[in-house]
Amino acid sequence: MTHTLHRRGNEDSLRDDFVIFAIAAQSVNAKGIAPKFEDFYRIVKKHNPSNTGDMKKGNEFVLGDEAVGRDMLDNSIVHAVFNDEKTVVKVLKELKEADLGLSIVVSGIIHSIDQCCRKNDMKMHTVERSLGIWGKRELLPDEPVLEISTMCGHGMIPFKLVDKMAEDISRNRITTRDAAVVIAKQCHCGVVNVPRVERILDMMAGK
């Protein structure tokens, strides 16, 4: 649920953070739809996403993108991360033309998504908004850790791992890119935005 909704960050931090994913309704149109997920994957891959994954199999940093793109299942949920609005407009255009029948969901800054839809003569159908985190907030770490950890909505990125990667970068034990990939590998769905993680880790490490 809402696995790409509650990503933390201000407008500057989130400006390059878009996820497009495809899902079928198990009670309506899922039976026999697996090949359509492969069509979806071919379309998104043409536009150089910075991460991809299928919740049923794993992400491209663990499996490689060829493995992500084959053997889709009727209950696959297939994701691709993009880093600019222009590309999202192009991907949506192709998905609209392909008419796959899959439900397509876009996560990102709401007014940007609205623009992407309008440029393709599409309308937002159903909108979901986050009202933030409620309850015992004193249990939470600092905001930069949250910004990285919440990129995996299933909670697969431990707070401690984020701190450890930032510390290792600051001590030159690991490159920022490698640290971001270590973090991205934890998220099966492939929705971690690796360039954004790199940017936040560098800030945490004082680089």
162 three-state secondary structure: helix
How distant, in Å, are the alpha carbons of 72, 178, 206 from that of 106? 20, 27, 32
71 three-state secondary structure: coil
Rounded to a whole number of angstroms, the minimum distance from the CB of residue 10 to another protein is 7
Rounded to a whole number of angstroms, the minimum distance from the CB of residue 47 to another protein is 16
Size of the site for another protein (CB under 8 A): 80
**Please, which of residues 43-62 interact with another protein by CB under 8 A?**
55-56
144 three-state secondary structure: helix
Rounded to a whole number of angstroms, the minimum distance from the CB of residue 174 to another protein is 13
Residue 128 region, left (φ>0) first, then alpha (ψ -120 to 50), else beta?
beta
Question: How many angstroms separate the CA atoms of 135 and 158, rounded?
Answer: 20
If binding is defined by CB under 8 A, does position 72 make contact with another protein? no
Question: How many angstroms separate the CA atoms of 177 and 195, rounded?
Answer: 8
Give the range of 20-28, 43-51, 78-86, 169-177 binding another protein by CB under 8 A: 20-28
If binding is defined by CB under 8 A, does position 122 make contact with another protein? yes
Choice between 34 and 161, CB closer to another protein: 161
If binding is defined by CB under 8 A, does position 6 make contact with another protein? yes
Rounded to a whole number of angstroms, the minimum distance from the CB of residue 203 to another protein is 19
If binding is defined by CB under 8 A, does position 171 make contact with another protein? no
